[in-house]
């Protein structure tokens, strides 16, 4: 029988080659966190502006839809189209007696319900109608009580 001889091997650690750049210092980590925080704040500001501009675009789309709604109502009632004149800040007829009164009352209600601070005007001049829709867009400043007043005008020949 043969005897196997075992030799034990000891593993020696490699010599440490010291380098001044062996790891991150606390200051480097803090600078990285500050840069990351500034980037996230910038991203939040871009997102907030995007939401504001999206809301303002939605209000402009509603204003265009409402102006076209009144034009369609006037085209559906051509015999009374010249009587649809309405100034800004005019009240809706309390007891609508005609199709024109119903159209104006319903339209002003829609304008005031769908648009913040919404109001409208109608000008009819020799077959050309101009619909003006007015609303208030909120400013980005939450401390501001009022926003900026905007108007959209749509003109067409009936």
What are the per-10-residue average pLDDT scores of the chain (158 residues)? Answer: 61 60 76 93 89 85 95 91 89 87 94 93 92 84 69 92
Give domain status of residue 72, yes or no: yes
> Does residue 47 fall inside a structural domain?
yes
**Number of other residues whose CB lies within 10 A of the CB of residue 34:** 10
Residue 59 maps to a domain? yes
- The dihedral sign for the CA sequence 58, 59, 60, 64: positive
pLDDT of residue 25: 83
The whole-number pLDDT of residue 138 equals: 72
Domain annotation covers residue 36: yes
Neighbours of 107 (CB within 10 A): 23
pLDDT of the residue at 65? 96
Predicted confidence at residue 73, as pLDDT, reads 93
Residue 19 resides in a domain: no
The C-alpha R_g of the chain, in whole angstroms, comes to 35
73 is a domain residue: yes
Q: Has residue 10 been placed in a domain?
A: no
**Inside any domain, residue 42:** yes
* Neighbour-count burial for 109-147, b at 16+ CB within 10 Å, e otherwise: ebbeeebeebbbbbebeeeebebbbbbbbbeeeeeeeeb
Confidence (pLDDT) at 72? 94
Write the CB contacts of 105 (distance below 8 Å, at least 6 apart in sequence). 92, 93, 96
pLDDT of residue 64: 95
Classify 71 as helix, strand or coil: helix
Total domains in the fold of the chain:
1
Residue 152: give the domain boundaries: 26-157
How far is 112 from 123, CA to CA, in rounded Å? 19
pTM exceeds 0.85, yes or no: no
Model pLDDT, residue 44:
93
């Amino acid at each position: 029988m043969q005897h196997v001889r075992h030799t034990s091997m000891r593993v020696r650690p490699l010599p440490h080659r010291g380098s001044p750049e062996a790891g991150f210092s606390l200051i480097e980590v803090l600078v990285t966190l500050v840069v990351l925080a500034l980037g996230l704040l910038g991203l939040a500001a871009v997102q907030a502006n995007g939401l504001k501009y999206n809301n303002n675009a939605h209000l402009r789309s509603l204003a265009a839809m409402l102006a076209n709604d009144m034009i369609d109502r006037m085209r559906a009632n051509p015999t009374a189209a010249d009587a649809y004149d309405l100034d800004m800040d005019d009240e809706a007829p309390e007891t609508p007696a005609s199709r024109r009164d119903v159209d104006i009352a319903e339209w002003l209600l829609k304008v005031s319900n769908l648009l913040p601070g919404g109001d409208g005007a109608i000008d009819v001049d020799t077959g050309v109608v101009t619909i003006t829709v007015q609303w208030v867009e909120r400013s980005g400043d939450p401390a501001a009580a009022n926003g900026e007043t905007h108007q959209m005008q749509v003109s067409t020949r009936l």
